């Protein structure tokens, strides 16, 4: 579990840095790379918080430990600013478009 957390952290940082680099360069790929960074970082945060609950054993859900707060905070990151399901739709649509597949139906709210 700790290995997964450590590797997820590296991956999330790398994707966030890449999205930031593209943003600074004014590259239109910023949007899809930001989606990918948000998706990976938020799902990894939930996975890490869930595993931490387990690592803490019987006290994992205790209000005397900060772990339950980390889990709630992480879950919110999966929902706000485009839920994980919406990120999945957008990233899959982009992947299909990048290989010339016909356009899929648009997601609610997509410009
Ligand atoms: C705890 C919490 C904190 C929040 N904080 C903020 C905040 O600070 N700022 C802010 O702007 N908003 C915030 N929100 C709102 C959040 O961004 C929306 O709740 C979220 O985007 C879902 O939109 P919706 O409520 O309109 O529901 P809907 O759009 O109806 O979606 C409901 C559920 O269906 C899923 N869904 C929708 N369309 C699809 C699809 N095509 N395929 C698969 N699944 C789909 C969504 O992932 C979601 O799980 C918060 C929400 C929660 C729960």
Q: How far is the CA of 106 from the centre of ligand 1 (A)?
A: 16
Confidence (pLDDT) at 27: 98
Q: Please give the model's pTM, rounded to 2 decimal places.
A: 0.90
Residue 104 Cβ inside 6 Å of ligand 1? The answer reads: no
pLDDT at 110: 54
Q: How far is the CA of 82 from the centre of ligand 1 (A)?
A: 7
In short, whether 89's Cβ falls inside 6 Å of ligand 1 is yes
pLDDT at 111 (0 to 100): 47
* Boundaries of every domain in the chain: 2-98
Per the CB < 8 A criterion, the answer to whether 29 and 43 are in contact is no
Q: What is the pLDDT of residue 101?
A: 86
CA of 35 to the centre of ligand 1 (A): 15
Give the pLDDT band (50/70/90) at residue 5. very high
The three-state DSSP-derived secondary structure of the chain is: CHHHHHHHHHHHHHHHHHHHHHHHHCCCCHHHHHHHHHHHHHHHHHHHHHHHHHHCHHHCCCCCCCHHHHHHHHHHHHHCCCCHHHHHHHHHHHHHHHCCCCCCCCCCCCC
Q: What is the CA radius of gyration of the chain?
A: 17
Question: What digits encode the pLDDT tens for the residues 27-86?
Answer: 999 999 999 999 999 999 999 999 999 999 989 888 888 999 999 999 999 999 999 999
CATH homologous superfamily, domain 2-98: Butyryl-CoA Dehydrogenase, subunit A, domain 3 (1.20.140.10)
Q: Is the pLDDT of residue 109 over 80?
A: no
């Amino acid at each position: 579990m700790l290995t997964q957390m450590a590797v997820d952290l590296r991956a999330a940082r790398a994707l966030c840095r890449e999205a930031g680099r593209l943003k600074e360069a004014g590259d239109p790929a910023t949007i899809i790379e930001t989606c990918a960074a948000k998706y990976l970082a938020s799902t990894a945060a939930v996975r890490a918080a869930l595993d931490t609950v387990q690592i803490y054993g019987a006290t994992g859900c205790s209000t005397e430990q900060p772990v339950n707060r980390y889990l709630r905070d992480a879950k919110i990151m999966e929902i706000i600013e485009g839920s994980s399901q919406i990120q999945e739709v957008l990233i899959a649509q982009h992947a299909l478009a990048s290989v010339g597949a016909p356009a899929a139906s648009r997601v609610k709210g997509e410009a």
